[in-house]
Amino acid sequence: MFTLTTNKQLYFGNCSNCEANCCNGKNGIIFSQIILEDFKKVYERFPIVFIFGNLNYIKPVILLTNGKDYCPYLKDYKCTIYENRPTVCRLYPLSPNLDNQIYFDLNCPEIAYKKNNNNLIFKNNKLSENFHNDIFETYQDKYVKTHLEFEKLEKKDFKKIKTINNLDFFQYIGKVDSKFFKYHQDSLKNLDNLK
């Protein structure tokens, strides 16, 4: 469960103290929404699929687990693609949002409100340099740009290819030709990793 960082002093411990809760499908980790710049970074390892949001907006996402098991790139609770992990994993336990605010995951066991040899994440409404990423300042613009890329597509041009925990995921089968749909099509080979 993500909550705003506003007016909080937060610290982060060490991932080695945790059994990779953030990578566990049993904890509800299934997918993460992506922006256009993520397509090229993730298509070789994760399936890029689409969901329909509350207002029927088309949203690109990557499937991280099958909803029952850990991420396929986790071994002994360690990431085997650490240097090439997706943006969502790089930023965790923080998350950018459409409102250009920074959120943090209350379920991360390494988030603390006291120092106790932990690294400072956030204080006085300012993100520590160790956790800084430009995406926190630019996410809204990048999200809107992603939305505009797909907003004119029609639902009939999508085919359901997977359902995980009652969530439907779709493949684009229409005629629009763009590099993003090429990445999407090429990424579908990774669906086999989630069995």
> At residue 116, does pLDDT exceed 80?
no
pLDDT-derived band at 145 (thresholds 50, 70, 90) equals: very high
| Closest of 55, 76, 73, 75 to residue 88, by C-alpha | 73
pLDDT tens for 82-92 read: 999 999 999 99
Domain ranges of the chain: 2-187
pLDDT tens for 8-52 read: 899 998 888 889 999 999 999 999 999 999 999 999 999 999 999
The pTM of the full predicted model, rounded to 2 decimals, is 0.93
Q: Quote the Cα angle for 159-165-171, to 5°.
A: 15
Element (DSSP H or E) covering residue 90: helix 87-91
Show the tokens assigned to 193: 């990793």
Instruction: State residue 56's pLDDT score.
Output: 85
> At residue 169, does pLDDT exceed 80?
yes
Residues 6+ apart with CB under 8 A from 178: 149
The Cα 22–Cα 20 span in angstroms is 5
Q: What share of the chain is helix, strand, coil (3-state, %, to 5)?
A: 30, 30, 40
